[in-house]
């Protein structure tokens, strides 16, 4: 069996003495699409930041394709970091053109000029923003900004894609484009996707595994179908039905 994309054990993260994440264990198989759902403040973003190596756990360990992610002091090694990328919950764009934004990950990897332009154009086309290269990133609408940040992540062809509410600002048609993009990335290129979403329908459509995060703990995980049709935990059931569980 190939090593899972992520394996976590006893992961704990606290802010100001408050435990915001406390996960016993989790395995994300390479090439799978995981959705993480849960109410606001549950720790979803914190989990993604830990997986991306931007945050260090207070306890516990993370293995990335069998290699310990958190061993070194500080950031994971560059070669390790370059195998994954994250799309942040609030899209952050560089004060530059759309093209320069999308090209950034290629530039820092030293990709040659000619293929940069080609790959940028293709990535923008994928998110429905063909021909916007020369626009200033500041002039974009929230949904356009979100799609640019997605194109910027896709263009480097990462093995693992961490997405924090990637369609929160999008209309259903554009959200559908992004969803099919994610399914294709996973199906055709074997990209592992961890998707945080508030949209339960989206989790059902896109993910093959779903986990429910509540107060920093994974209440339930499982194949998406089972998760939604036969949730084992009463709290999951209540959350799926849209009832308060806090």
Partner 1 sequence: MTEALRLLVSLDPELWGIVLLSLGVSGTAVLLSALLGVPAGAALALWEVPGAAWVARFTYTLMGLPPILAGLVVFLVLSARGPLGHLQLLFTPTAMVLAQTLLVLPIVTGLTLAGVRSKDRAIRELALSLGATQWQAAWRVVLEARRAIGAALMAGFGRAIAEVGAVMLVGGNVRGHTRVMTTAILLETRQGNFEVAIGLGLVLLAVAFAVNAAFYRWQEGA
Q: Which residues bind Mg ion (CB under 5 A)?
A: 45, 89
Strands 160-164 and 217-223: unpaired
Binder to partner 1 among 72, 108, 130, 189 (CB under 8 A)? 108
Which of the listed partners (ligand ATP, partner 1, Mg ion, none) does 50 bind, with a CB threshold of 5 to 8 Å by partner kind?
none
Nearer to ligand ATP among residue 36 and residue 129 (C-beta): 36
Name the CA dihedral angle for 51, 94, 152, 191, rounded to a multiple of 10 degrees. 0
Binder to partner 1 among 69, 156, 178, 182 (CB under 8 A)? 156
Residues that bind ligand ATP (CB under 6 A): 15-16, 20, 38, 40-46, 89
Examine residue 82 and tell whether it contacts partner 1 (CB under 8 A): yes
- Block residue for tokens 């290699």: 67
Question: Which is nearest to 197 in space by CA: 181, 184, 213?
Answer: 213
Binding mask 214-233 for partner 1 (x = CB under 8 A): --------------------
Q: Residue 13: left (phi > 0), alpha (psi -120 to 50), or beta?
A: beta
Examine residue 123 and tell whether it contacts partner 1 (CB under 8 A): no
Nearer to ligand ATP among residue 12 and residue 20 (C-beta): 20
**H/E element, 234:** helix 234-240
How many CB atoms within 10 Å of residue 56? 16
- For residues 95 and 238, give the distance between their C-alpha atoms in angstroms, rounded to a whole number: 43
DSSP single-letter state for residue 11? E
Which of the listed partners (ligand ATP, partner 1, Mg ion, none) does 244 bind, with a CB threshold of 5 to 8 Å by partner kind?
none
Examine residue 94 and tell whether it contacts partner 1 (CB under 8 A): yes
Residue 65 backbone phi and psi in degrees, to 5? 50, 45
Using CB under 8 A, list all residues that contact partner 1. 52, 54, 75, 78, 81-82, 85-86, 88, 92, 94-95, 104-105, 108-109, 152-153, 156
């Amino acid at each position: 069996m190939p090593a899972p994309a992520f394996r976590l054990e006893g992961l704990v993260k606290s802010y100001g003495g408050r435990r915001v994440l406390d996960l016993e264990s989790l395995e994300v198989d390479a090439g799978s699409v995981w959705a993480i759902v849960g109410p606001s403040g549950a720790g979803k973003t914190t989990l993604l930041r830990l997986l991306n190596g931007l945050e260090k756990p207070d306890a516990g360990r993370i293995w990335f394709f069998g290699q310990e992610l958190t061993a070194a002091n500080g950031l994971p090694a560059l070669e390790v970091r370059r195998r994954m990328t994250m799309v942040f919950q609030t899209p952050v764009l560089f004060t530059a053109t759309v093209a320069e934004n999308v090209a950034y990950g290629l530039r820092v990897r030293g990709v040659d000029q000619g293929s940069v332009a080609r790959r940028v154009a293709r990535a923008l086309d994928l998110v429905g923003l063909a021909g916007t290269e020369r626009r200033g990133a500041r002039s974009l609408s929230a949904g356009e900004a979100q799609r640019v940040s997605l194109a910027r992540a896709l263009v480097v062809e990462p093995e693992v894609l961490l997405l924090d509410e990637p369609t929160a600002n999008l209309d259903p048609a554009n959200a559908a484009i992004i969803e099919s993009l994610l399914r294709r990335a996973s199906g055709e290129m074997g990209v592992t996707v961890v998707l945080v979403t508030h949209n339960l329908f989206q989790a059902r459509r896109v993910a093959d595994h779903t986990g429910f995060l509540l107060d920093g703990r994974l209440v339930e995980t499982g194949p998406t179908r089972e998760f939604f049709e036969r949730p084992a935990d009463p709290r999951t059931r209540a959350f799926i039905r849209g009832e308060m569980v806090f």
